[in-house]
């Protein structure tokens, strides 16, 4: 049985290039990430944003002596647990994280730091101060709201000047930041602060790149998307030439010989599974583990079950976690399942019977209610739909947005996806789309109590999440039982626990307790971040 | 002394019988039989090719395939993996040397060998684009995947032969039936069979007349029907 690494976080950064399957498009993205142009990479969960950031980082590290560009990778995933009294504190937390990550990266590369980031402190004091400060921010979920003293943190201008000094004195061309999980999908205030920092920090010596989810749209007053960054949508078009080959190459890197043999023998079934994954390597690997013989029976079953229920799990989980947004989330699912999918499926049946081009697109009028657009953004985030093109003219020259449906969801309605899947995908044209006008009847059922995503709702939701059982965490059973055995029954207990506490368990020493603490904490962030 | 030795091996023989019994009583029995039938298919290939090619290495591969079954059904799992891997190697060697008579003659004289690495080498090996293009260009894009597959198969098999403590320590000390090892070996044999047929088809099938194609039609459709370009042979 192949043991896939389905998350970039589980691949050692030093091994990342071994897993890289290079396409022309990916090469272009990686080269741009390594350049001096600030990039914002946009893509739904699992499409490979983190992976490409890590590839760019690894290549810059490899070529450091030649290019002299220092890569600094960091993730803002812990932003999901911050409960800050002042919106600006988030800015300070990010700045502290960037300072800390920069110092660590420079040291790892063996570059001596001639200038100090924190003027009054020595190297060790800097590290100590930053880690304490970051930890203080990241403990705010405990609710002990107080003002965090950040007076020793450099201002953004001091930070930029310090980096300029470091670069000039060490012969470094520039510092390229790669910021992952840059802005929480449901926290507009964090999004505003992030883009404000993003705009402020870029300089001739600093190039800031970030990965965000689709639907992150609150840029604040200072950041102008057109001028301040280049946005790249990370989409792998299933209709593009070489798509299946690309997905197969990804699997070649990870699968064992037996699975590779099964794929070679059942290429047509594998193609359908790849199309269904809708350009998402993580989903392809997940579904392959469910269909290890790649037989028609298995692939049909997996497509019908996974894309009818499991893929919605992540979307529905959002509504469990953020009950304040339940209306948006549930309406989105109903809209896709009750209106879009049946309509597109019905039309495709007719098109295929008449040997005509097929569709997987729909169009929403630009004057559709904002609440509808917010609900659609959440569907983009989980990859159920994707924004295909803005400002598209439809019937009677009305203008709106074209979205594409997740191919797997579309194929899950077929009786035998392995038979009809390929004709549906190969005959798709963007010219055919189901249109939903400004006042479509489906919109009336969306009447949420709140019309905007608000931090107070997030904070309330966070408290609910932290009080949930550790059973909700994506951890092996033995680990959950270990935690419970120690009286760490709720998610907040795990976040709170020290390594010493974990060492109270049988046979758990220092190394193992750190492992357990790390695993448990990352599972908590994973759960809370989306 | 002589009698004691004989008794020792007679006792072993009983153990072999027990493993055979257990193997065919297990849920893997149909798979064992199915894969064993491949010897008939290989003999069909030999029958077609003898007289046209030097089939010394193909014959050795067939013997190795058969021996692998003997070993696994006697509970000699490590030797089963050795034979399965050698079968894979010999098929690749047969295909490679069938295109180079001088090298083949040198190999037979023991003057020159060819390593596994060279056989599956990306630029010039049996799965390289230029090799496949010369004989069956319609499937040249499969080459890269076959390199990945064969290299992994060779490496995974090797783990059961030497070098991987975890796998070696999993081998039974005595002659006993082990369904997990049997299952793993069957996986490897199944994949080896696929690789062998792929190579034989690529290298020789386009030179076959109608009667020869008829002989390999069923096995090809069954094993390689998923690669559409091979179906063109029988259109």
Q: DSSP secondary structure string, A382-434?
A: TTSEEEEEEEEE-GGG-EEEEEEE-HHHHHTTSSSHHHHHHHHHHTB-TT-EE
**Of A264, A268, A273, which to mutate for an interface test with B (greatest number of B Cβ within 10 Å)?**
A264
Q: Quick check: B166 pLDDT over 90? A: no
Of A245, A257, A268, the CB nearest to B191: A257
Give the pLDDT of residue A359: 95
A:B CB pairs within 8 Å: 55
How many CA within 13 A on the CB side of residue A454?
10
ipTM of the complex: 0.89
How far apart (Å, rounded) are the C-alpha atoms in residues A178 and A73? Answer: 5
Q: How far is A245 from chain B (nearest CA, A)?
A: 9
d(CA B216, CA B40): 11
**Distance between B62 CA and the closest CA of chain A, angstroms:** 21
- Shortest Cα distance, chain B CAs vs residue A29, angstroms: 24
Asked if A209 has any chain B CB less than 8 Å from its own CB, the reply is: no
**Cα dist from B67 to A252, A325, A437, B36, whole Å:** 30, 65, 71, 11
Helix axes A257-265, B142-159, angle to 10 degrees: 150
- pLDDT exceeds 90 at position B140: yes
Token pair listed for A331: 């309406």
For range B38-43, the mean pLDDT: 97
Q: Indicate whether B115 pLDDT > 90.
A: yes
Q: Tell me the C-alpha distance between A107 and A441, whole Å.
A: 60
- pTM of the predicted protein model: 0.85
Residues 6+ apart with CB under 8 A from A456: none
The chain B residue lying nearest A269, using CA atoms, is B226
With CA atoms as reference, report the closest residue to A238 among A379, A422, A415, A52: A422
Q: Is the pLDDT of residue B147 over 70?
A: yes
Using an 8 Å Cβ cutoff, are A87 and A194 in contact? Answer: no
Q: Running along chain A, 530 residues long, what does each successive block of 10 average in pLDDT?
A: 74 89 91 95 89 96 94 89 80 93 90 73 82 86 75 90 90 94 80 90 94 83 86 90 93 95 96 96 93 96 94 81 79 93 95 93 93 89 90 91 96 96 94 93 79 65 77 77 86 79 74 70 63
Q: Quote the CA–CA distance of A391 and A414 in Å, as a whole number.
A: 31
A72 by DSSP, 3-state: which?
strand
* Closest Cβ–Cβ partner in B150, B224, B226 for A268: B226
For residue range B180-208, list pLDDT tens digits in order.
Answer: 999 999 999 999 999 999 999 999 999 99
Contacts of A159 (CB under 8 A, 6+ apart): A95, A98, A99, A117, A201
Residue B68 has pLDDT above 60, yes or no: yes
- B226 and A266 within 8 Å at the Cβ level: the answer is yes
Extract the tokens encoding B159: 């783990």
* Nearest-by-Cβ selection for A248 from B145, B156, B227: B145
Chain A CB contacts of B148 below 8 Å: 252-253, 260
Residue of B nearest to A246 (CA): B145
pLDDT at A476: 74
Least CB–CB distance from B190: residue in A253, A261, A263? A261
Dist. CA B26–CA A264, nearest whole Å? 28
CA A267 and chain centroid, separation: 30
What is the reported pLDDT for A205?
A: 95
Contacts of B201 in chain A (CB under 8 A): none
Whether residues A266 and B188 touch (CB distance < 8 A) is answered with no
Compute CA distances A98 → A140, A412, B210, whole Å.
Answer: 19, 44, 71
**Residue A258 in contact with partner chain B when CB distance is under 8 A:** yes
Residue A467's pLDDT is 82
> Length of chain B in residues, anyone?
235
Cα separation of A389 and A382, whole Å?
18
Scanning the structure block, which residue is given the tokens 């003027």? Answer: A119
Q: Collapse the DSSP code of A235 into the 3-class scheme (helix H, G, I; strand E, B; otherwise coil) and give the result.
A: coil
- Which of B85, B193, B194 is the best residue to mutate to test the A interface, defined by the most A CB atoms within 10 Å of its own CB? B194
Mean pLDDT (whole number) for B68-78:
96
Give the one of B142, B144, B194 whose C-beta lies nearest to A261's C-beta. Answer: B194
Q: With an 8 Å Cβ cutoff, is B57 touching chain A? A: no
pLDDT of residue B27: 95
Chain A residues whose CB is inside 8 A of the B224 CB are: 265
- DSSP H or E segment with residue A177: strand A174-180
Is residue A276 within 8 Å of residue A384, measured between CB atoms?
no
Q: What pLDDT sits at residue A525?
A: 67
The CA distance from B219 to B196, in Å, is 12
User: Distance between CA A377 and CA A335 in Å, rounded?
Assistant: 13
Q: Are A260 and B142 a contacting pair at CB < 8 A?
A: no
- Continuous segment of H or E residues that includes residue A41: strand A39-42
What is the pLDDT of chain B when averaged over all its residues?
Answer: 93
**Which residues, numbered 122 to 141 in chain B, qualify as contacts with chain A under a Cβ-Cβ cut-off of 8 Å?**
141
């Amino acid at each position: 049985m192949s043991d896939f690494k389905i998350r970039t976080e589980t691949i050692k950064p030093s091994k990342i290039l071994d897993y890289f399957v290079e396409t022309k498009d990916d090469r272009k993205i990686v080269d741009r990430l390594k350049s001096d142009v600030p990039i914002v990479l946009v893509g739904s969960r699992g499409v490979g944003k983190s992976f490409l950031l890590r590839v760019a980082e690894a290549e810059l590290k490899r070529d450091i002596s030649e290019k002299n560009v220092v890569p600094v990778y960091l993730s803002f995933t812990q932003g999901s647990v911050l409960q800050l009294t002042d919106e600006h504190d988030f800015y300070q937390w990010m700045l502290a994280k960037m300072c800390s990550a920069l110092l660590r990266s420079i040291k790892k590369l063996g570059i001596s730091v001639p200038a100090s980031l924190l003027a009054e402190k020595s190297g060790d004091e800097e590290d100590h101060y930053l880690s304490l400060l970051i930890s203080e921010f990241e403990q705010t979920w405990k609710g002990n709201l107080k003002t965090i003293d950040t007076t020793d943190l450099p201002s953004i201008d001091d930070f930029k000047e310090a980096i300029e000094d470091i670069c000039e004195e060490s012969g470094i061309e520039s510092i390229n930041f790669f910021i992952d999980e840059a802005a929480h999908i449901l926290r507009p205030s964090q999004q505003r602060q992030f883009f404000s920092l993003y705009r402020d920090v870029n300089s001739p010596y600093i190039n800031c790149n970030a990965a965000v989810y689709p639907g992150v749209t609150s840029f604040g007053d200072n950041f102008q998307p057109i001028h301040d960054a280049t946005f790249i949508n990370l989409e792998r078009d299933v209709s593009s030439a070489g798509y299946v080959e690309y997905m197969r190459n990804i699997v070649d890197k990870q699968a064992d010989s037996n699975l590779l043999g099964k794929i070679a023998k059942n290429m047509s079934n594998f193609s359908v599974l790849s199309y269904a994954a809708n350009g998402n390597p993580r989903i392809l690997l997940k579904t392959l583990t469910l269909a290890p013989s790649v037989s028609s029976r298995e692939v049909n079953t997996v497509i019908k079950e996974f894309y009818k229920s499991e893929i919605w799990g992540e979307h529905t989980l959002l509504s469990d976690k953020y009950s304040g947004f339940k209306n948006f989330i549930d309406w989105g699912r109903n809209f896709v399942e009750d209106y879009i999918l049946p309509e597109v499926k019905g039309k495709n049946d007719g098109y295929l019977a008449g040997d005509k081009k097929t569709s997987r697109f729909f169009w929403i009028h630009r004057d559709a209610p904002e609440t509808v657009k917010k609900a659609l953004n959440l569907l983009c985030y989980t990859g159920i739909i994707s924004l295909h093109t803005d400002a598209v003219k439809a019937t009677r020259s009305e203008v709106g947005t074209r979205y594409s449906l997740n191919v797997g969801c579309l194929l899950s309605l077929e009786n035998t996806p392995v038979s009809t899947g390929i004709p549906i995908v190969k005959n798709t044209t963007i010219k055919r789309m189901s249109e939903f006008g400004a006042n479509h009847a489906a919109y009336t059922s969306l009447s949420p109590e709140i019309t905007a995503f608000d931090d107070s709702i997030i904070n309330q939701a966070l408290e609910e999440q932290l009080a949930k059982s550790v059973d909700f965490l994506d951890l092996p059973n033995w680990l959950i039982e270990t935690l419970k055995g120690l009286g760490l029954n709720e998610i907040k207990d795990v976040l709170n626990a020290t390594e010493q506490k974990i060492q109270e368990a049988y046979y758990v020493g220092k190394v193992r307790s750190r492992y357990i603490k790390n695993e448990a904490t990352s599972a908590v962030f994973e759960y809370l971040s989306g | 002394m002589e009698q004691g030795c004989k008794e020792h091996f007679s006792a072993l023989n009983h153990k072999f019988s027990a493993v055979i019994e257990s193997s065919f009583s297990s849920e893997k029995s149909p798979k064992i039989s199915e894969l064993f039938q491949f010897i008939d298919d290989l003999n069909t290939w030999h029958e077609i090719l003898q007289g046209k090619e030097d089939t010394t290495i193909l014959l050795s591969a067939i013997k190795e395939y058969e021996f692998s079954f003997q070993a696994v059904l006697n509970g000699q799992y490590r030797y089963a993996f050795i034979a399965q891997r050698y079968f894979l190697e010999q098929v690749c060697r047969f295909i490679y040397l069938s295109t180079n008579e001088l090298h083949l003659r040198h190999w037979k004289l023991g003057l020159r060998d060819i390593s596994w690495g060279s056989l599956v080498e990306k630029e010039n090996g049996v799965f390289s684009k230029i090799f496949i293009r010369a004989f069956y260009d319609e499937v040249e894009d499969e080459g890269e995947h076959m390199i990945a597959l064969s290299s992994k198969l060779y490496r995974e098999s090797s783990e059961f032969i030497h070098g991987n403590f975890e796998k070696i320590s999993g081998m039974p000390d005595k002659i006993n039936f082990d369904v997990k090892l049997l299952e793993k070996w069957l996986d490897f044999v199944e994949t080896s069979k696929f690789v062998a047929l792929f190579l034989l088809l690529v290298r020789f099938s386009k030179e076959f007349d109608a009667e020869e194609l008829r002989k390999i039609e069923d096995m090809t459709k069954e094993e390689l029907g998923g690669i559409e370009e091979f179906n063109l042979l029988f259109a």
